[in-house]
Amino acid sequence: MKIGIIGIGNMGSAIAKGLLDDNELFLSNRGSNLDFFKDKDCTISDNESVVKNSDYIVLAVKPKYYPSVIAEIKDFLKDKIFISIAAGFTIKKLQDLLGDNKKIVMTMPNTPASIGEGMSILLPNKNVSDDEIQNVLSIFSSFGKAIIIDEDQFDVAAVINGCLPAFVDLFMEGLSDGAVLCGLKRDISYELIAQTIVGAAKLMDKTKEHPGLLKDKVTSPAGTTIEGVKALELNNFRAALIKAVEASFNKSKSM
């Protein structure tokens, strides 16, 4: 597929890396973040050329730049597929900027895309055909997992997708500090923590067992794990997580 990406920062480069081998890629960036791609099989040019050469265009600039970049490229879009990855946009807001007749797919990927482990949600507008939706699904599946989601679920799902990597980073850092406090070397702690989180997540995903049940299976009576669970509960661990998701959701609604 001919895919264009405008804005090669954190997300743009993560997506581009996932797509490099199997697609014709066209990239543009305002700054000088393109060193990694200079000797790769892709074309680096300006925003207008990216849109003219591609069938699917991902706009990967910060949300505040969306209106100006859209104004710059919208006349060249014609019936190409415009893919948004920005936080805080709705289909209506994008249609207001692009025009009601434009083909738009609103998405929310996340940064594990750079290692092929992204999670993306997709919401097409009514102008996008089934084949085009399948193509966008296949684009986003090339750097992880991708699902289509209903409009009323999109905003909160986008918060989970977009914000969760940072929440998990914080979780891993705190666990590592605890381990170091108890005498474990920092590098060993991060190796153990990362793999254990990957393993626990895959276990839940594969078995589809409720996380409470998985927790019950590893908490022996009067054992060490239940002591840690008690300490977390005394410090409102789950309430803190609920509040974090709600705070990010409220922020995304106010943008």
Ligand X SMILES: NC(=O)c1ccc[n+]([C@@H]2O[C@H](COP(=O)([O-])OP(=O)(O)OC[C@H]3O[C@@H](n4cnc5c(N)ncnc54)[C@H](OP(=O)(O)O)[C@@H]3O)[C@@H](O)[C@H]2O)c1
Sign of the CA dihedral 38, 83, 70, 165?
Answer: negative
Length of the chain: 255
* Residue 186 or 251 with smaller CB distance to ligand X: 251
Q: Is 10 in the site for ligand X (CB under 6 A)?
A: yes
Q: Are 113 and 18 in contact (CB under 8 A)?
A: yes
Distance CA 75, CA 220 (A): 64
Sign of the CA dihedral 50, 52, 54, 60?
Answer: positive
Q: Is 90 in the site for ligand X (CB under 6 A)?
A: no
Sign of the CA dihedral 112, 60, 30, 163?
Answer: negative
Distance CA 80, CA 136 (A): 12
11 is in an annotated binding site: yes
Amino acid (one-letter) located at 243? K
Q: Is 77 in the site for ligand X (CB under 6 A)?
A: no
* Residue 121 or 193 with smaller CB distance to ligand X: 121
Q: Is 135 in the site for ligand X (CB under 6 A)?
A: no
**Shortest separation between residue 9's beta carbon and ligand X, angstroms:** 2
CA dihedral 120, 124, 129, 133 (to 10 degrees): 0
Q: Is 87 in the site for ligand X (CB under 6 A)?
A: yes
Q: Is 28 in the site for ligand X (CB under 6 A)?
A: yes
Residue nearest to ligand X (CB): 9
* DSSP letter assigned to residue 79: T
Q: Is 99 in the site for ligand X (CB under 6 A)?
A: no
Q: Is 61 in the site for ligand X (CB under 6 A)?
A: yes
Q: Is 63 in the site for ligand X (CB under 6 A)?
A: yes
- Exactly one of 81, 162, 176, 189 binds ligand X (CB under 6 A); which one? 162
* Residue 5 or 81 with smaller CB distance to ligand X: 5
Q: Are 131 and 123 in contact (CB under 8 A)?
A: no
Q: Which residues bind ligand X (CB under 6 A)?
A: 6-12, 28-31, 33, 47, 60-63, 65, 69, 85-87, 108-111, 162
- Binding site residue list for NADPH: 47
- Binding site residue list for NADP(+): 6-11, 60-63
- Binding site residue list: 6-11, 47, 60-63
